[in-house]
């Protein structure tokens, strides 16, 4: 590598480190906004977030960035770069090409709007006030449509949004895997509905002290290998994880007094996200590759820990007695009955409380609505009616208020359109990864039943976590399992699990 190219490379590294520093500051301010920042500070905080995000955006699309990318993306130079440098250059080139035509003032306006919108959403959800929230969402969708024009329309407008969260994902691909999944899951749900061996869930309808819920959540997070010296657990309206850097990955949960399962499983879910980012290799620290490779792979880890480990019989064989110690009202409930109850299948209104089977229908509903918003001209004012109709069609139930309906998720208030498909993709990735994990670790269930979860975390670190964004989703899943994404593994997993629980 000649001297000038070496200088460009070093300057590129310095620039990306600066961008990463902005991202960390933005992430910290956003976390604070969602976990108890004074309400009167929201307008000024929103402006601050807008300004910092705009400065980071200007760096990503600057003349300097173009100079470095032009010098470093020639075939001859790319061949000489170390893998990490090459990956970061390629990733920044894609982002530059997509975003260089977006006016910075649009980015600032969008960031300020979504920061205010997320706070407005909290109140709207609490009061079931869609009319009060609608102006924010209308402006977000309008700006998002403008961004799509700047970024460039792919096969459809919604394809452009999908690609933001899962590289190269298209409506055509999602429609195909969802259709394949539905073909297996709908008959399974019909068999379950017809079964006479339904779990008793009455004992879950009690009051459970929230302080004890917090203590148990902290205990479980520690057991799965979450490092509290590199993170913390707080409470928010909607659980989330924020990876500032591998040494500071924070998570939140939400405690419901009448639902002991909610906080446990949301803590496992966000803990899965956090394990991913806490265990990214040190060589990626300070680079733009020190994050998950895609939301689908990220969700595979949260769903793996939440459901495939956390809702398994071996898991509760080990941890049910601990739960009973925190909640004596469960002392007379047998392990088998508890296990079946937390894995009941029933149509429900709330996505994050849904069972593993119907959860995918919740995602399909959101996916179809988002396609209608961006491809078919659905207006924001019509969202509640469309939402309720979809729930009636797919799950046979309808919300009685918008807080339990169209306002239940935080994602749209932050402009995260195109994200929801990642949850079902995550379920599919997780089942496929689990299939390989069981083959390579035959003692998998025994380790869980013993409470020895660290070897599982270490396996996942070796196969997924350490790579951060330095490998694509396709490269990861093929390297781990030997094939591209295959939805049949999820269907196989669900059919086997529920055949046993419902004695089909």
Instruction: Kindly list the catalytic residues.
Output: 270
CB-count burial class (<10 Å; 0-12, 13-18, 19+) for 117: buried
In 209-281, alpha helices (H):
210-224, 260-278
> Is 255 in contact with 263 (CB distance < 8 Å)?
yes
| Structure tokens that stand for 494 in this block | 């669900």
Residues in contact with 84: Cβ distance below 8 Å, sequence separation at least 6, in sequence order = 283, 284, 287, 289, 470
CB-count burial class (<10 Å; 0-12, 13-18, 19+) for 281: middle
Rounded to a whole number of angstroms, the distance between the first and last alpha carbons of the chain is: 65
To which H or E segment does residue 248 belong? strand 248-253
Specify the length of the chain in residues. 504
Report the distance separating Cα 14 and Cα 493, nearest Å. 46
| Torsions phi, psi for 241 (to 5 deg) | -125, 140
Integer CA distances (angstroms), 118 to 70, 113, 412, in order: 38, 9, 9
Return the closest-CA partner of residue 501 out of 184, 199, 204.
199
């Amino acid at each position: 590598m000649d001297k000038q190219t070496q200088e460009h490379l070093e300057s590129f590294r310095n620039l990306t480190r600066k961008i990463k520093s902005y991202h960390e500051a933005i992430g910290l301010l956003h976390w604070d906004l969602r976990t108890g920042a004074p309400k009167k500070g929201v307008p000024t905080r929103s402006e601050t977030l807008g300004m910092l995000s705009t400065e980071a955006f200007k760096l990503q699309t600057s003349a300097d960035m173009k100079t470095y990318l032009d010098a470093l993306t020639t075939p001859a130079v790319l061949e000489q770069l170390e893998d990490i440098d090459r990956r970061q250059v390629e990733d920044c080139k894609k982002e530059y090409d997509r975003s260089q035509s977006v006016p910075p003032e649009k980015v600032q306006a969008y960031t300020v709007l979504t920061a205010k919108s997320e706070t407005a959403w909290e109140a709207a959800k609490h009061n079931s006030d869609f009319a009060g929230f609608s102006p924010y969402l209308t402006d977000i969708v309008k700006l998002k449509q403008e961004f799509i024009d700047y970024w460039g329309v792919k096969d459809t407008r919604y394809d452009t949004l999908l690609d933001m969260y899962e590289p190269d994902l298209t409506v055509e691909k999602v429609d195909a895997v969802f259709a394949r999944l539905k073909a297996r899951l709908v008959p399974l749900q019909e068999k379950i509905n017809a079964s006479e061996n339904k779990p008793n869930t009455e004992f879950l309808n009690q009051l459970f002290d929230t302080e004890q819920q917090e203590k148990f959540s902290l205990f479980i997070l520690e057991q799965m290998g979450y490092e509290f010296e590199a993170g913390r657990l707080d409470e928010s309206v909607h659980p989330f994880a924020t990876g500032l850097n591998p040494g500071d990955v924070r998570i939140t949960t939400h405690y419901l007094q009448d639902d002991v399962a909610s906080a446990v499983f949301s803590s496992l879910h966000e803990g899965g996200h956090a394990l991913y980012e806490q265990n990214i290799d040190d060589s990626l620290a300070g680079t733009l590759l020190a994050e998950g490779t895609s939301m689908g792979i990220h969700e595979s880890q949260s769903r793996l820990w939440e459901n495939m480990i956390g809702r398994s019989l071996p898991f509760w064989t080990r941890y049910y007695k601990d739960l009973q110690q925190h909640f004596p009202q469960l002392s007379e409930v047998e392990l088998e009955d508890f296990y079946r109850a937390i894995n009941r299948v029933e149509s429900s209104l709330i996505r994050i409380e849904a069972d593993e089977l119907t959860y995918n229908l919740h995602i399909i509903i959101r996916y179809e609505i988002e396609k209608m918003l961006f491809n078919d001209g659905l207006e924001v004012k019509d969202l509640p009616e469309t939402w309720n109709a979809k729930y009636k069609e797919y799950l046979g139930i309808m919300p009685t208020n918008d807080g339990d309906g169209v306002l239940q998720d935080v994602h749209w208030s932050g402009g995260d359109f195109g994200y929801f498909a990642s949850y079902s993709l995550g379920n599919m990735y997780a089942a496929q990864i689990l299939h390989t994990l069981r083959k390579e670790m035959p003692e998998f269930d025994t380790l869980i039943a013993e409470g020895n979860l660290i070897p599982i975390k270490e396996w996942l670190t070796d196969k997924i976590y350490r790579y951060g964004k330095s490998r694509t989703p396709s490269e990861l899943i093929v390297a781990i399992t030997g094939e591209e994404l295959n939805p049949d593994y999820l269907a196989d997993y669900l059919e086997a699990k529920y055949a046993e629980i419902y004695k089909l």
